[in-house]
Amino acid sequence: MRNRSWKYLFPVLYGLVVYFTIRLLLDSVTGMKFWERRRWGQTSLEIVYTVLVSFIFVWVFRRLFRWFDQRWPHEYSTRRIVRELLYVFLVNLIFQNAFLTTFCALTDDGAQWYDIADVNTIPLLYVLIYYGIVRSRTFLKAYIDGKIQLEKITNDQLQTELKFLKAQYHPHFLFNALNTIYFQMDENVAEAKKSVEKFSELLRYQLYDQQQTVPVSQEVRYLQNFIELQEIRSSDKLQLSVHFDGKLNGQQIYPLLMLPLVENAFKYVGGDYWIRIEALVDRDELHFSVTNATPGKIPIPVSDQKAGGIGLDNLRRRLQLLYPEKHHLRIEKKEGEFLADLVLKFNS
Summarize pLDDT for 97-122 with one digit per residue, the tens.
777 777 666 665 555 666 677 777 78
Question: CA 168 → CA 24, 141, 163, 164, 165, distances in Å?
Answer: 77, 41, 9, 6, 5
**87-96, 243-252, 282-291, range with the lowest pLDDT:** 87-96
pLDDT of residue 23: 74
Query: Could you give the 3-state DSSP secondary structure of residue 208?
Result: helix
Q: Are 202 and 225 in contact (CB under 8 A)?
A: yes
Which pLDDT tens digit goes with each residue over 9-42? Answer: 888 888 888 877 877 776 666 556 555 555 666 7
Q: List Cα–Cα distances, 89 to 20, 81, 85, 127, in angstroms.
A: 22, 12, 6, 9
Mean pLDDT of 138-159: 69
Superfamily in which the 188-345 domain is placed by CATH: Histidine kinase-like ATPase, C-terminal domain (3.30.565.10)
Instruction: Please provide residue 255's backbone torsions phi and psi, each rounded to the nearest 5 degrees.
Output: -80, 160
Q: Rounded mean pLDDT of 54-74? A: 85
Name residues whose C-beta falls within 8 Å of residue 163's C-beta, 6 or more positions apart in sequence: none
Instruction: Give pLDDT, residue 347.
Output: 72
Phi, then psi, of 276 in degrees rounded to 5: -120, 125
Question: Cα 225–231–234 angle (5° rounding)?
Answer: 155
What per-residue confidence (pLDDT) applies to 338?
92
**Contact 64/70 with Cβ under 8 angstroms?**
no
Q: Domain spans of the chain?
A: 2-150, 188-345
* Least trusted range by pLDDT, from 194-198, 244-248, 330-334: 194-198
Q: Give CB contacts under 8 A, 24+ apart, made by 230-235.
A: 230/180, 230/262, 230/266, 232/180, 232/184, 232/191, 232/195, 233/179, 233/180, 233/183, 233/184, 234/266, 234/269, 235/273
Which has more pLDDT, 303 or 44?
Answer: 44
Closest by Cα among 111, 3, 122 to 57: 122
| DSSP assigned state of 294 | -
Does residue 304 contact residue 144 with C-beta atoms inside 8 Å?
A: no
How far is CA 45 from its chain centroid?
Answer: 56
Residue 309 predicted with pLDDT over 50 = no
Query: What is the per-residue pLDDT for 307?
Result: 34
